[in-house]
Structure 1
């Protein structure tokens, strides 16, 4: 064996038997070849073609002559060399086995890697998919199970298309549903609380193609842990075709209309409520005449002006809902002047209050045109 072959043999053995050793198929075959060459395996002899081999074998089978000390020492030396050769042969065979195992291990590792990569990718994909969509699916299934009895009751009423009653969300005691009617021509949002139901509907064309929303509201009862409140629901069709639900939950503590007024203003509102029955929540402070607050009331039939005088509460309303400027309140409080309250509407700002004063006429209808004084 040449020095180059010996160096290559050492390199292949180090790669095969070292930590995490792996050989390619070609390297494993090369290692086998170099190890066979290193052992110097002798060629086998065919006894049928070599008569001398037969004689040598027969000589081995003949009884040996008595050993002399010289032949005994020579025999011991030969036996030692034979044992050493056998030992070298066993070690070489063991190295052959390890080299073959290393080559097989490399092949198996290379074949196993693609399958492992595919398996890991599948596990990662399943995990990401569950994180993104699985929670929503589980929540939808749980919601459907929890309202199954109520859905069966709604279907039994026959007001909606069969199979269209779909729960969207639950907020406290309320359940929000999406339903259709008229064979799918009408889209509705339905909000149920115990035995109460509120519904809002629009045409499917408006809902799906023109951005029309479904709006409904319902009051929620108070319990030990929460006060009474209201629930406003808005359902629209998203660009991807799904339903988007917006829920607003409010309680009286979130907005108290009386908190915007002073004690004197609240006292005036309480008097208006007592004398007219008008709720203080339905009116709004629009301005002052001196220290007298002037109020405006918004009704479906029109806009009204309210003034609480010393003795009475006066009120005048517009002639038409879309013409608040026709709301004119004229009062005479006995101070020598007639006061007129008018509303002015503008495009860029809300209603404003205009106050006009003219001298009051005397009993005979005469007044001083120069000074404005009332003649006795």
Structure 2
């Protein structure tokens, strides 16, 4: 934790700033010092980001800010980094190719590169071009030494030592072709699943709604499929998640709902529908927006066999009675710093790569 102390302090300050901004937008705190200027700038950035990408509503952006505010507390950073031996060495230039499915989805990679003393060369997704550059600007104001370790590029990336790239299964093949000769982490499509055991209370099932609907289900940690026992009464789920029904008034979500429903009707697929979420029995994992796949399971043992077989397709598993490796309902979009995407330890990868250079 001693390595790059000023950088770590800068991230702690950023976390405090994001928390204060979220409270400010709710009218719950007074503006302190130079915050007025930064708050005004961030308000403008949030507005432009929402206009640029209709999926990035102000509510979703603020939710992302709040989660990073919680994660970037000094105790969390210490708990995360104390497990590693971060030593001074020649810094790597790490190219980060970011996805843009949810706000700040690539921030953990950015954070990992900088707290390990390396340089971040970032290629942003065209869907999310505004939020991270603003946060980088704030970080540099807190620690000017970071200015030489953060850069953004719209061009073909050159002069880098390692790559962290996130995209679809199709773009992963492109990434492997262009970046395969360098040390790399290349991420593909993954989705998250929920296990329903059938004895959940309405309050417990309602928590699952957050895992399904936050970010419109666009995140890899969004639940896109539920696994249910035979005989499960789906009306129980629909009643529990009914408070999320205002989502159907969001145009982009509603358009997807209407389109997918029409496709299923014309294809004569059987499905359930409550007016804002379609339930379709399917053995796949990547359900379309406004659709939730479901699949029955016979026994817990058969369920574990299925989950083990499909582990490379699954980002996280949520359940009402979490077992080792599972997450509680309502928590899938609140990962800790040590909850690595695809289970690949980014910090360990960076440290090992640094030793080889």
TM-score, normalised relative to structure 2: 0.18
Higher helix fraction (1 or 2): 2
Which has more radius of gyration?
Answer: 1
Higher strand fraction (1 or 2): 1
